[in-house]
Structure 1
Amino acid sequence: MKLPTSIAEKLALLQDGEKIPFSKMKHIIIESMLENGILHKQIQGRRKTLIYLQNTDKLKDYLGNHFGISNLKNYVEISKRNDLSRADAIAISSDSKLRSIRTFKGFLVNSYDRVECIIKGEKMILYPKEGTFTFIYDFEDLQLSPEITIVGIENPESFRYIREQKYLFSDIHPLFVSRYPQNRDLIKWLQIIPNNYLHFGDFDYAGLNIYMNEYKKHLNNRARYFLPPNVEIILSKNGNRNNYDNQTILFDKKNIIEKDILLLLEIIEKYKKGLEQEIFIMK
């Protein structure tokens, strides 16, 4: 069992000589400490019971033996940090699993051209060899030239074969980012940087829903949905009727002002089909 931060905070107050109502300290760990004589009760009046500490050395020994905690106040301070690492967890409690810690934050990037960037104050070239991607961990420190357009790829196969889709993006200087692993790191980074965002997803209701709810609502005018010039022709020939029939997501066009979204909705309804983005991979 781990020592909850909320209980540790109260124990730190007891360590400083305060008394705390028992009603605010109800926990199995507190009960164990009372049974072992680490903590004590003081009856005050007919209804109020206070918890207090007589011997700080006993508390220190108990916390060390049961939780590996050598300094209670350090434990409280560090365990409340948002950036708690496994090394920090071990340092304060001899337990790397003190709290659920995301060891791998960040996201994948890919590019078929050299993209200059600055990360943690140093210049770097993003240009993964074919068959590999670059994983950005400290994304908060990643800076790009404002002329770079961030292209979000919805599906893994399309992200893998960006070189076979280069013909689609001849009018921009793109850096491709993957929606997977699916977390909020990518959108956090997109909100930090000034670059425009282009969403390359499936041409169906599900793809539009991902764009509208995961990106557009956070980036507003900096985001737009990617429509290849010939998307209507390809959707009419290669679109999937089941893709349309199985998706029940509805869009209120009154709340949509992006012209390409409105156009795509018209195309989908016209042919009653959906189109997956992998169709544009030219192998």
Structure 2
Amino acid sequence: MDKISINIARKIQLLIQGESIPYGQLKSKVINQMIEDGILNIKLQGRSRKTIFTAKPEAVINFMSSHLGINDLKTYINNEESGLTRAENIIASSNSKSSTRRTFKGFLVNCFYPVQARIKGLKFVIEPLEGTYTYIHNFEDFNIPAETLIVGIENPENFRFIGKQAHLFEAESILFVSRYPQSKDLVTWLQSIPNKYLHFGDFDFEGIRIFRDEYLQHLKNKASFFIPQNIEELIIKYGNKGLYDSQYKSNASVALNLNSDIENLISLFHKYKKCLEQEVLVEVGL
């Protein structure tokens, strides 16, 4: 990963503070990687003006630490302004808070029926109490039965209330995994096991893009996109027109090379000029 310039570092600090930055001011491989990982988001304003923002500043902070070794961005910026070399600055900004910040690897899992698992050959049962999750740190040594379906959930609300959505899934053994916090650990693990992966995200252009770019391209035919049988009825009753308007122009080609089910879903977006957030399935109990 390339080191970041002081200009990009200042822009990232503003994003962490909740500001939006014009897309044209953030030309950097680091920025592109955070967009690809879903840590930074693109918003279309007007007909063509794009801005970058983040809804999860803590994920940006974690990315800076784990990918660039920068544990304190403010210190990094101050050191750049003071004329330290890049190498000296990375060391200084990393050491400044190394005793108070820990970078975690791995991902959260959840289930509504117990799932038998192994870590380093030792058996254990994944069976979180309601309101708790299991965190898998040593994912390289984490194994589950090959027949267990893995369902990736994009939204924390849906991940929290999986019991309200049990009727949506027919598999006897299911392990739910959380896309948040975003990292490549989850995909790395999914690539190493034979299990099928079902992506349960928002029913909008961005949700399909996340599935395509973050999962499908790496998992190929092991990955599929979850679409409820009554999706048309849900879009008619609970669809969001603003969501459609803000996304469709910048995602015109999102369906290219995808399957007919996803193409049909996108045709429903265009038919009703609406998209659907997955939280609806929790809120209305459908």
Q: TM-score, normalized by length of structure 1?
A: 0.63
Can you give the 5+ residue segments of structure 1 that lack an aligned partner in the other structure? Answer: 1-81, 83-95
1:169 deviates by: 0.7
Structure 1 ranges of 4+ moved more than 6 A: 98-101
Distance across 2 between alignment mates of 1:253 and 1:279: 23
- 1:271 maps to which residue? 272
CA RMSD, 1 decimal: 2.6
> Residues 263 and 212 of structure 1: is their aligned pair in 2 closer, same or farther, counting only changes over 3 Å?
same
Matched with 1:155 is: 155
Residues 190 and 225 (structure 1), Cα distance of their counterparts in 2 relative to 1, 3 Å cut: same
SS at match of 2:181: coil
- The answer to whether the 8 Å contact 1:150/1:177 transfers is yes
User: Secondary structure at 2:219's aligned position in 1?
Assistant: helix
- Find the residue that maps to 2:163 and give its secondary structure: helix
**Distance in 2 between the 1:269 and 1:275 partners?**
12
Q: How has the CA–CA distance of structure 1 residues 243 and 115 changed in structure 2, closer, same or farther, with 3 Å as cutoff?
A: same
Aligned partners of 2:232 and 2:257: how far apart in 1? 20
Query: Are the aligned partners of 1:235 and 1:273 in contact in 2 as well (CA < 8 Å)?
Result: yes
The amino acid across from 1:245 in the alignment is: D
SS at match of 2:221: helix
2:194 alignment partner in structure 1: 194
Indicate the residue corresponding to 2:54 in structure 1: none
2:175 maps to 175
Q: Which residue of 2 aligns with 1:233?
A: 233
2:141 matched residue in structure 1: 141
- C-alpha change, 1:251 and 1:224, in structure 2 (3 Å) is farther
Show CA shifts across 1:144-194 (max 9, x none). Answer: 111111100000000000001001012452100001111111111111111
Give 1:205-244 correspondences, 5 Å limit: 205-244=205-244
1:211 Cα offset (Å): 0.7
The CA distance in 2 between the partners of 1:264 and 1:250, in whole Å, is: 14
2:250 alignment partner, SS class: coil
Q: With a CA cutoff of 8 Å and minimum separation of 6, indicate the structure with the bigger relative contact order.
A: 2
* CA-CA distance at 1:254 after TM superposition: 7.4
The alpha-carbon deviation at position 236 of structure 1 amounts to: 1.1
Q: Per-residue deviation at 1:120?
A: 1.0
Alpha-carbon distance in 2 for matches of 1:244, 1:180: 23
CA drift at 1:250: 2.2
**1:137 is matched by which residue type in structure 2?**
H
- CA distance, structure 1, for counterparts of residue 178 and residue 142 of structure 2: 16
Paired with 2:226 and 2:172, the residues of 1 have a C-alpha distance of 12
Cα 1:278–1:253 change in 2 (3 A) is closer
Contact 1:224-1:258 at 8 Å conserved across structures: no
Partner secondary structure for residue 218 of structure 2:
helix
Provide, for residues 94-113 of structure 1, a one-character-per-residue CA deviation record: whole Å limited to 9, x for no partner.
Answer: xx949979631110000000
Aligned-pair identity (%): 49
1:252 aligned partner: 253
Q: What number of residue pairs does the alignment pair up?
A: 192
SS in 2 for 1:246: helix
Summarize the Cα distance change of 1:234–1:112 in structure 2 as closer, same or farther, 3 Å threshold. Answer: same
CA contact 1:150–1:174 (8 Å) conserved in 2: yes
Match of 1:60 in 2: none
**Contact kept? 2:111, 2:126, Cα under 8 Å:** yes
Q: Which has the larger radius of gyration?
A: 1
**CA distance 1:114–1:273, shift in 2 (3 Å):** same
